[in-house]
């Protein structure tokens, strides 16, 4: 169905009346409900903003979101049947982790690890529910994410070059990590807002292009200085996938010409920024080392690839897993593979749940991402990132990445919106 402004099928998607603020009593006057809806959306946006600052644990993000989710639950958080797969499969995934703990002689800190996993799963459910309630929250979510990303990228860049006092706290192993604990999380975190800015450049007004270009250069430099090969690959894939998706969505000659010109300009600017950065000796030296496809610790005895083979062998002998974090304690390095991570830390129960959820999310998201809906651009960008995360999951663990759960929540919120749209259209057709 084609999106037509004002069409009745939009219903509460446009007004946000279903739950512009969850749990608001229907007897409250519309102005008060609207005001509460605005406050509620701002509270959500602030939580997303805090996701960019995880230098210590528990981070402000965890504390704030736990309180926000609890408050929302008290006020009447609606979890619809449309996001049931997300709920059931994430809960089952964590049950697998709990069973895995039972196999351990010494549980160590693993209960807290699973507690964090469960909290992050709840955060995905929360974001899905509040987006389903009002799709307009997507704009605030993406903008809050963008602001946080630019700030944390600047901290990483300035810290890397020693421009600010105490800047070393924003680096690790000679790599920028911003307000994160790991450069390998910092780099991928910056990719979604980069895609968001690129989308704005390709489809937005020319007058706003300079600011978007400036923001994109900052984020690109942050990704580059993280020296995370996974982040580099995710960035390149996401940009190419975005351009391809936009060409598929809009096939007019004029638009394709605009895409080609803007993409060429963007590529030139990004390459220029990277080339300038490479003129700095410390950057060039680390780049020469990190740019190698296979590092010494990848192919060495008990290197990354050898550990993968060992781990998949263990999975056959330990159907419940070996316990969260035990793989790294036993072999000296963690799995660096999300599929193996699921097998080792969450057992076959968790692995099957995780794979099922991944396939389900990608299949529905790809099915709906080109439909003409108000939320379509946000779903398209999210799907580009989720596909990219599924790919880099072969070389890195993503089960505790806060922004990954936000992406899952956005995807399922949009999937739920589409299902509600289809239901409304069917009802209207029957009424005719």
Whether 3 is in a domain gets the answer no
Whether 378 is in a domain gets the answer yes
DSSP string, 23-76: T--TTS-HHHHHHHHHHHHHHHHHHHHHTT--SSSS-HHHHHHHHHHHHHHHHT
pLDDT, tens digit, for every residue of 120-149?
Answer: 999 999 999 999 999 999 999 999 999 999
Whether 1 is in a domain gets the answer no
Which tokens is 103 given?
A: 């196999």
Identify the segments of the chain with pLDDT beneath 70. 1-30, 289-304
* Residue 238 near residue 397, CB atoms below 8 Å: no
The pLDDT assigned to 10 comes to 39
Q: How many CB atoms lie within 10 A of CB 43?
A: 16
Q: What is the value of pTM for the model shown?
A: 0.89
Whether 252 is in a domain gets the answer yes
Prior bond of 96 cis (ω within 30°)? no
Return d(Cα 340, Cα 76) in angstroms, integer.
Answer: 37
DSSP 280: S
DSSP string, 296-340: HHHHSTT-HHHHHHHHHHHHHH-TT-S-TTHHHHHHSS----HHH
CA-based nearest residue to 85, from 346, 403, 360:
360
Q: How many domains does the chain have?
A: 1
Return d(Cα 149, Cα 195) in angstroms, integer.
Answer: 12
Whether 2 is in a domain gets the answer no
Ranges of H-type helices in 108-182:
110-133, 137-160
The pLDDT assigned to 294 comes to 56
* Residue 343 near residue 311, CB atoms below 8 Å: yes
39: containing domain: 8-431
Residue 16 burial (C-beta neighbours within 10 Å; 0-12, 13-18, 19+): buried
Whether 229 is in a domain gets the answer yes
The pLDDT assigned to 287 comes to 73
Return d(Cα 389, Cα 404) in angstroms, integer.
Answer: 8
Whether 256 is in a domain gets the answer yes
């Amino acid at each position: 169905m084609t999106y037509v402004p004002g069409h009745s099928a939009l219903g509460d998607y446009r007004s946000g009346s279903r739950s512009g603020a969850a749990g608001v009593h229907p007897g409250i006057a519309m102005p008060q409900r609207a005001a509460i809806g605005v406050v509620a959306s701002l509270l959500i946006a602030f939580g997303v903003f805090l996701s960019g600052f995880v230098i210590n644990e528990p981070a402000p993000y965890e504390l704030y979101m736990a309180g926000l989710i609890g408050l929302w639950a008290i006020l009447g958080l609606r979890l619809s049947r449309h996001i049931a797969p997300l709920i059931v499969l994430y809960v089952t995934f964590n049950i697998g982790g709990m069973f895995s703990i039972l196999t351990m002689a010494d549980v160590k800190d693993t209960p807290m690890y699973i507690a964090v996993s469960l909290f992050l799963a709840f955060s995905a459910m929360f974001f899905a529910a509040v987006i389903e309630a009002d799709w307009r929250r997507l704009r605030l979510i993406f903008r809050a994410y963008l602001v946080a990303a630019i700030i944390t990228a600047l901290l990483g860049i300035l810290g890397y070059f020693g421009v600010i006092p105490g800047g070393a706290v924003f680096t690790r192993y000679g790599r920028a990590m911003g307000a994160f604990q790991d450069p390998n999380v910092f780099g991928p975190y910056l990719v979604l807002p980069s895609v968001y800015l690129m989308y704005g450049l390709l489809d937005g007004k020319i007058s706003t292009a300079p600011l978007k270009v400036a923001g994109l250069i900052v984020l690109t430099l942050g990704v580059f200085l993280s020296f995370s090969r996974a982040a580099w690959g995710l960035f390149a894939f996401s940009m190419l996938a975005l351009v391809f998706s936009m060409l598929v969505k809009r096939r007019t000659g004029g638009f394709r010409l605009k895409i080609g010109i803007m993409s060429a300009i963007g590529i030139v600017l990004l390459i220029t920024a990277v080339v300038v950065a490479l003129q700095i000796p410390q950057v060039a030296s680390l780049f020469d080392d990190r740019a190698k496809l296979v590092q010494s610790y990848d192919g060495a005895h008990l290197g990354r690839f050898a550990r993968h083979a060992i781990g998949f062998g263990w999975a056959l002998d330990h159907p419940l897993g070996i316990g969260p974090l035990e793989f790294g304690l036993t072999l000296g390095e963690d799995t660096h593979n999300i599929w193996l991570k699921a097998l080792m830390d969450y057992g076959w129960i968790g692995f099957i749940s995780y794979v099922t959820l991944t396939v389900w999310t990608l299949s529905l998201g790809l099915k709906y991402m080109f439909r003409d809906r108000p939320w379509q651009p946000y779903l398209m960008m999210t799907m580009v990132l989720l596909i990219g995360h599924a790919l880099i999951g072969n070389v890195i663990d993503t089960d505790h990445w806060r922004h990954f759960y936000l992406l899952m929540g956005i995807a399922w919120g949009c999937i739920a919106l589409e299902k509600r749209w289809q239901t409304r259209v069917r009802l209207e057709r029957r009424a005719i």
